[in-house]
Amino acid sequence: DVKVTQSSRYLVKRTGEKVFLECVQDMDHENMFWYRQDPGLGLRLIYFSYDVKMKEKGDIPEGYSVSREKKERFSLILESASTNQTSMYLCASSFVIGGEKLFFGSGTQLSVL
């Protein structure tokens, strides 16, 4: 069974902390994505990567960075967490970009106090 694993289900951090959200996929997929999901706003794309060491900004990249050192791992970094980054973060992967099935992790609910 294919799997996208996010390292934490729940995280509580303080304003100003540096936060790392980790995502690992076991499907040898080329493409990986980070979304945030907020009530009334739906899923919004933060960053995506179509290859190792490659990254592209999504719709809302401000305040975030990403790292993809290995094909199976895609990390989302909040350099200095703020309260407006409290959200559900979803990682996804796909074999090709566009029209292909996205496989999602279970999500990380991040609270920034």
Partner 1 sequence: TQLLEQSPQFLSIQEGENLTVYCNSSSVFSSLQWYRQEPGEGPVLLVTVVTGGEVKKLKRLTFQFGDARKDSSLHITAAQPGDTGLYLCAGDSGGGADGLTFGKGTHLIIQP
Q: What residue ranges bind partner 1 (CB under 8 A)? A: 4, 9, 33, 35, 40-45, 48, 50, 56, 58-59, 90, 92, 97-99, 101-102, 104-107
Q: Distances from the Cα of 105 to the Cαs of 14, 15, 42, 82, 88, in angstroms?
A: 24, 25, 16, 23, 11
The sheet with strand 73-78 has its strands ordered as 4-6, 19-25, 73-78, 64-70
- Report, in Å, the least distance between residue 3 CB and partner 1: 11
Residues contacting 97, CB < 8 A, separation 6+: 30, 31, 48, 50
Measured from the CB atom, is 50 or 71 closer to partner 1?
50
Looking at the DSSP bridge assignments, the partners of residue 48 are 33, 56
DSSP single-letter state for residue 100: S
Measured from the CB atom, is 27 or 45 closer to partner 1?
45
- Report, in Å, the least distance between residue 80 CB and partner 1: 27
- Report, in Å, the least distance between residue 8 CB and partner 1: 13
- Report, in Å, the least distance between residue 105 CB and partner 1: 5
Measured from the CB atom, is 59 or 79 closer to partner 1?
59
Measured from the CB atom, is 10 or 69 closer to partner 1?
10
